[in-house]
Structure 1
Amino acid sequence: MNNQPKPDSKTYDDLISDVKKGIIKVPKFQRDFVWDLKATAKLLDSILKGYPIGTFILWETDQRINDIKNIGGFDLPETPLGRNVQYVLDGQQRITSLFAAYLGAKIKKPGEKKVTDYNDIVVNLEENLEEKEKDIVTVKDEAEIAIPLHDVLNFDYQMGNELEQRGFDKAQINQISAYSSAFKTYAFSTVTLRQNDIESAIEVFTRINTGGKVLTLFEIMSAKTYDEANDFDMQARWEQFQKKLNDRKYENISPSVILQILSLIISETRECKRKTILGLEKADILEKWDDAISAIEKTIDYFRTVLRIPVSQLLPYDTLIVPFSYFFLKTGKAPNGQQRKYLEELFWRSSLSLRYSSATESKLAADIKKVDLIIDGQRPPYPEFKLYINSSQDLKETDFSTGNAICKSILCILAYYEPKDFDSNGKVLLDNSYLKIASSKNYHHFFPRAYVRKHGSDAETPYANSIVNITLVSAELNKKRIGAKAPSVYLADFADENSELKHALKSHLIELDDASVIQNDFTAFLKKRSEALYAEILKRIEPSEASTKIDAVHETILEGEGQLVEFKSTLRYDMRTGEVNKKLEHVIAKTVAAFMNSDGGSLFIGVDDHGNAVGLDLDYGTLKKADRDGFQLHLGNILDSYLGKDVMKLWKLDWPLYDDRHNCHVQVTRANKPVHVSHEGKEEFFVRKEGSSQPLSRAEEHEWNKGRF
């Protein structure tokens, strides 16, 4: 019972003094200041009349947690060394209002342009203090004879003289002095909690705020881990990281992800339950924070480039980031071919079994054991993962919803093939803001629902909103060009303006010349597309022995670019403009020459900078002979033109299949004499340095060639 807090009191002067000295602080986990001028005026009016305004509950401790640094332009000082700090657990809105009124502060609330000026709170000198029902402290313009509250709160002898010069008579000045004294001597009720641990303080805060803000685990841990000496503010660090996530279009990731990752890495039990996270030591979190953030970045890049999930809104669960980040934390590098297949199986089985729809923490603890097996090159068993899609019929019967993890899984598969717009063959731009609701125009029912309702049979209409009927298209295309038209009708319109319509539809797993499309046969369409989608699912959840055995070329791509490896998305097709760009051909020639002048190497055309398969179809579309033979002929002409025919024996081609797309592998041998690039009447010399092709001046070339050729 000795720890039971005892009631106490502080005067207005003492309260303000303690705030100004940095002894009383408002913790950062409190909600933003929301009171308006009228609410503050009402509070001060109650104080002036001697009414109780509730008790301030303070937590006194020698610990330092994150707190509010500025109120109304006044920078709050740090707590003096050797002094305990008193954090406000209950009464933040009141104490902030009192301090803002004392300062006559100007405050702009988050998200608002309007500035609230606390000098606009006045004391009405026409009203009598005895008339309790009338407000004496009010907002400007509601009283004719008034004085700013700020002046009353700061009244002293000198101000009395100033007020006399401003036209106030002695009776009014005496009245102001009396009001000032009433404010300054008002005894605010306080209760101080002196248990030093933050868990007790959080428990008190949670209990007394049952009708207000409920603290999230992240907010609690942000308060607990704040460390000024190490410049660590978890909330600020996460907000900074959010900017990077925004750039990657993964801004919807919950901060709980980082806590789960840290707990799985730090805790001895390798769990991420709430109790376990709360028990993590601050020093351990500070030590592992940057590594965990880096692992999340690598995971998101992996999702975007390898799984080709361009935006976070498509992720079945953002919890999926946790086991993958665990992998990157444990290994420190990208997965090899076998690990990659097993990780992808984990991703798809988790998604299609609704793995993280409940009991997430305990399931994550089990799933990192599967990741440990994957790291060791073993395929994990999945007896506890019950798949909800076990046939093409199951897919057909899945109603489309943006909040459904099964539907999101299918959307991820569709996104993997980088769907093209029907009218332009341009890549469909997907954005989180467009994908949150099912009515978004990014989601197109290939057989429009209005069309199915009007022309479909009784057996067909229930499937109008099936996930199998969903395609991803640009919003404007869906809204203005398609409407309720039959597929054969709107596709005929697009065929006139898009010569690559067949290719565009293939990117949606739809065949243009299929009878179901030509004849508007919805039943046949559902059957064929559901079978195609289910085949895609099987590829992902049942990695064959052959699929996990990666050949040397495949492994080279997975290891990424370096001194001996270079990736180029295309030979001549500019992915930004959608047109032929001759400058890209020059870049190809420079790269090949650089390999010849160095130690040889491999150039992969049809693979982007991230190791993501692009394929050769885009380049094929720019050639008269739109196939591999045409590509080989054109590439040969480029190298002959830039490098000369005498180096033909130094390069050869093969056409490896990578992520279901062929690329062109240019194998380059080291030359026995300098190879120059003839470009615009000049002879250029390139070499490989620091993993890129770099030009050398004549003098540098001379030094490079010494003893080399």
Structure 2
Amino acid sequence: MERTHSIESLIKDVQNEYAVLPEFQRDFVWEIAKTVDLFDSIVKDIFIGAIIYGVPSFEITTRAVDDRERKTRGKRRNTLLVKHFSKAQIDEKQKIDKSNFRLILDGQQRITSMYRALEGVDDIYFIRKNDSELDNDLSDKKLSEQTLEEVLYNFDTEEDDTRMSIKLSDVWKTMNEDYFEDELKNTFFKKTSYYKANSEDSNFNEIEEFRIYLSLQKKIQNLFKAEKLLSYYLLDMSLDRFVLFFERSNSRGVQLNFIDILTAKLYEGFNLKKKIKEFESKNSGYEISPEIIVRAIAYIVSRDRFEESGKGMEIHRTFILTELNAEHFNLYWEKVSNWYKKTLEFLFNNHLAISQYWIPYPNMIIPLIIFQKELGYGFDQMNDNQREFIFYWYWCSIFSQRYTGSSNEKIIQDCNILSLIAKGEKIKDRTFLNKLSKIAITSWGDLYSYDKRQNAVYRGILNFINYSVKGLLDWNNTSKINFMDNIDDHHIFPRDFIDKNLSDDDPNKDFINSVVNRTLIPKITNIKIGNKAPSAYLSEIKQRNPSIEQSLKTHYIDTDILNGQYDNNFGFFLELRAGEIFNQIKTEVVDKFQEIKDMHYQEPQNVNVTSVKISATYYNKKVDAVFNPQSKTIQYNGELFDSPSSAGMKAKQDLGAPEGATVNGWRFWKYLDPYSNETKFIDHLRQEDTNVS
């Protein structure tokens, strides 16, 4: 619900730390001209947008409102004071009705601008029209009846010695300190440029001018006190909703995510920003992904919790923001960030990814971090069987688009599976390898449909070419393309060339942007190519690099392209290249399934189980029961139910659902799979006909 308050109450709330800025909020960036416009809009009753506050339900680090002088060349500014509020401190503040402790979620620039103007950090002047400049209908009005808008000449950052000018910070001082009239005159009025420039004039009426000054002071004070001047929303939100708010609605500023909020929570015990800077300064050329490292730490912490208490493993943002603390990060950050770097090196050195930007699914780095952790040593020490599995898992995950949806579940499952592989143990989850092997590419014609850079399969195909040839060669010098190069996905047949040489009804024209017509080369080379025929621009490069044929082969480009054989045969070129790429995918990935299964899978022992512990949740409330996989019955709350659905309906009603609520019991009750350490619906037991030991 929208509410209103005054500028006075807002500034006092900021001064008293009732309205605070989260530490992760972007810096104050408004130029002073925007502050001038802001006050002009306020006086003219132009809507300036609502301020949004949030009542925090979690610990948070706050940052002081920026009250520093504006930047000047050659002068460094002090850092802003940060202050940490624990959950207990926030709860205590909320008990005090007057405090109304809240976070400024949206409106920082406006609030800071007003605060700086009233506190005198920025000089903002209300400049009054001279009487001769007032509209005719104001001549009969008393001073007290004239509105601020009617007498406003403009707002400015400097005084006007020809018009009455009053600094907003002077008004704020007179509101909050006791001044006698003589003191007001001597301390403020007589020090204005207007008074100094005109007081010696014989026509200057000091008494009348001071009366105007006092009237103006009072009007501006009333403006500051006007309760309905500023509109705001006060959101009482959970941590999860807090994150969603910033991810979805902070469009006017820097886009924020839960890592920014985590940074503010950890600030007092662990400076995440500082650690990120330290990593990037020590590891030139590597770009750190805090979210990947944070989720890896979350997996490690939640797995420890699982082993101690049996609670499920979690890496979603709610778990991270509510359960992880500075102690966890102090314990694991250095180790995990080091594994992160070594994982990137492994991907680059084995040609699985040509650069960080081109990694198809960055989240796949997390299971590789855990794999490395469980190995206890570097990737170079793993055995051949482990290496074969990692390569197979990597390419199948990409080509099956495994991480496109429900990625948190996939990350946890893959972390568990790769942990088994690292320990030399077998996979006993029947469905894992079957689902992994269902890749989207079953024929060379399937390659044509991938034409968007953001698509993981598109990126995967380009990286796979690099992998299959053990490193793409630069066309200019036959050296391997380096992961630190600025790499672009170049059109082998340039777009403009195809547009000019293929008729609109040629079906091959639809494949201009297909991955089959793309390859990865340094961006500077791509820029120089332009819209020439392939034979033309490649022949020019050959003059600089006589060994270009060797480079072209690594990109699966037939060297006959140099003599113009394909310039007018775009469709044939695509078929030839698509066939070669697919054959390699088939050999390196598709045909490896049985070999990988024989090497790493073991059938689970069939045990005659009559009871499996299960649970269900409804609106964050949980109930427990026991499931008999053979009879399909459930023992719940001392009663035996003949089906999962009948037990589910009773449990759902007990948890608050209305009478008659329906439920699919097979998709309501969950159990912990001992082979994958995953929480699954009991429907999995029915589908796979799997007995649980």
Q: Tell me the TM-score range normalised by the shorter chain.
A: 0.5 to 0.7
Are the aligned partners of 1:352 and 1:387 in contact in 2 as well (CA < 8 Å)? yes
Partner in structure 2 of residue 260 of structure 1: 295
Shift of 1:512: 2.5
Distance in 2 separating the partners of 1:400 and 1:362: 28
Distance in 2 separating the partners of 1:50 and 1:469: 58
Q: Where does the alignment leave 5 or more consecutive residues of structure 2 unmatched?
A: 70-77, 94-98, 135-142, 196-205, 307-311, 600-693
Distance in 1 separating the partners of 2:18 and 2:80: 10
Distance in 1 separating the partners of 2:343 and 2:68: 41
Tell which deviates more after alignment, 467-476 or 516-525. Answer: 516-525
**Pairing partner for 1:303 from 336, 340, 347:** 347
Partner in structure 2 of residue 164 of structure 1: 190
Distance in 2 separating the partners of 1:165 and 1:482: 67
Residues 238/505 of structure 1: CA separation in 2 closer, same or farther (3 Å cut) = same
Partner in structure 2 of residue 562 of structure 1: none
Shift of 1:18: 5.5
1:491-530 map, 5 Å: 491-512=538-559, 518=565, 522-530=570-578
Q: Counterpart of 1:443 in structure 2: which amino acid?
A: H
Residues 154/353 of structure 1: CA separation in 2 closer, same or farther (3 Å cut) = same
Aligned-partner SS, 2:320: helix
Residues 191/510 of structure 1: CA separation in 2 closer, same or farther (3 Å cut) = closer
Residue 359 (structure 2) pairs with residue 321 (structure 1):
no
Shift of 1:538: 3.6
Residues 516/121 of structure 1: CA separation in 2 closer, same or farther (3 Å cut) = same
1:299-698 map, 5 Å: 299-307=343-351, 309-335=353-379, 336-337=382-383, 338-377=385-424, 381-385=432-436, 386-395=438-447, 397-416=448-467, 417-428=470-481, 435=488, 443-446=490-493, 450=497, 454=501, 458=506, 460-481=508-529, 483-487=531-535, 489-512=536-559, 518=565, 522-541=570-589, 543=592
Tell which deviates more after alignment, 305-314 or 122-131. Answer: 122-131
Spell out, residue by residue over 1:271-309, the C-alpha distance to the aligned partner (whole angstroms, 9 max, x if none).
223443343232434433333322222222222222352
Shift of 1:122: 3.2
Are the aligned partners of 2:19 and 2:104 in contact in 1 as well (CA < 8 Å)? no
Residues 291/139 of structure 1: CA separation in 2 closer, same or farther (3 Å cut) = same
Q: Counterpart of 1:352 in structure 2: which amino acid?
A: F
**Pairing partner for 1:104 from 106, 120, 138:** 120
Residue 164 (structure 2) pairs with residue 138 (structure 1):
no
Spell out, residue by residue over 1:615-653, the C-alpha distance to the aligned partner (whole angstroms, 9 max, x if none).
xxxxxxxxxxxxxxxxxxxxxxxxxxxxxxxxxxxxxxx
Distance in 2 separating the partners of 1:48 and 1:286: 51
Shift of 1:193: 8.4
Shift of 1:64: 4.3
Are the aligned partners of 2:451 and 2:514 in contact in 1 as well (CA < 8 Å)? yes
Residues 219/210 of structure 1: CA separation in 2 closer, same or farther (3 Å cut) = closer
Shift of 1:59: 4.0
> What TM-score comes out, normalization by structure 2 length?
0.61
Aligned-partner SS, 1:119: coil
1:212-227 map, 5 Å: 216-223=257-264, 225-227=265-267
**Pairing partner for 2:63 from 52, 60, 67:** 67
Shift of 1:504: 1.9
Residues 548/249 of structure 1: CA separation in 2 closer, same or farther (3 Å cut) = farther
Distance in 2 separating the partners of 1:482 and 1:98: 52
Are the aligned partners of 2:367 and 2:418 in contact in 1 as well (CA < 8 Å)? yes
Residue 168 (structure 2) pairs with residue 149 (structure 1):
yes
Partner in structure 2 of residue 88 of structure 1: 103
Q: Where does the alignment leave 5 or more consecutive residues of structure 1 unmatched?
A: 106-117, 436-441, 551-709
Distance in 1 separating the partners of 2:440 and 2:13: 61
Distance in 1 separating the partners of 2:424 and 2:576: 36
Residues 483/285 of structure 1: CA separation in 2 closer, same or farther (3 Å cut) = same
Distance in 2 separating the partners of 1:44 and 1:87: 24
Distance in 1 separating the partners of 2:450 and 2:56: 55
Q: Counterpart of 1:307 in structure 2: which amino acid?
A: H
Are the aligned partners of 2:125 and 2:157 in contact in 1 as well (CA < 8 Å)? yes
Shift of 1:349: 0.8
Q: Counterpart of 1:222 in structure 2: which amino acid?
A: T
Shift of 1:391: 2.6
Shift of 1:388: 0.9
Equivalent residues, number = 518
Are the aligned partners of 1:23 and 1:80 in contact in 2 as well (CA < 8 Å)? no
Q: Counterpart of 1:377 in structure 2: which amino acid?
A: G
**Pairing partner for 2:23 from 28, 49, 58:** 28
Q: Counterpart of 1:257 in structure 2: which amino acid?
A: I
Shift of 1:134: 3.4
Tell which deviates more after alignment, 494-503 or 126-135. Answer: 126-135
Are the aligned partners of 1:57 and 1:89 in contact in 2 as well (CA < 8 Å)? yes
Distance in 2 separating the partners of 1:38 and 1:514: 60
Spell out, residue by residue over 1:587-637, the C-alpha distance to the aligned partner (whole angstroms, 9 max, x if none).
xxxxxxxxxxxxxxxxxxxxxxxxxxxxxxxxxxxxxxxxxxxxxxxxxxx
Distance in 2 separating the partners of 1:355 and 1:207: 24
Residues 193/445 of structure 1: CA separation in 2 closer, same or farther (3 Å cut) = closer
Distance in 2 separating the partners of 1:218 and 1:509: 41
Partner in structure 1 of residue 198 of structure 2: none
Shift of 1:87: 3.7
Q: Counterpart of 2:123 in structure 1: which amino acid?
A: N
Q: Counterpart of 2:473 in structure 1: which amino acid?
A: K
Shift of 1:265: 1.8
Residues 206/394 of structure 1: CA separation in 2 closer, same or farther (3 Å cut) = closer
CA RMSD, 1 decimal: 4.8
Distance in 2 separating the partners of 1:384 and 1:547: 14
Distance in 2 separating the partners of 1:56 and 1:394: 49
Residue 323 (structure 2) pairs with residue 280 (structure 1):
yes
Residues 176/547 of structure 1: CA separation in 2 closer, same or farther (3 Å cut) = same
Shift of 1:533: 1.9
**Pairing partner for 1:234 from 264, 267, 272:** 272
Partner in structure 2 of residue 248 of structure 1: 285
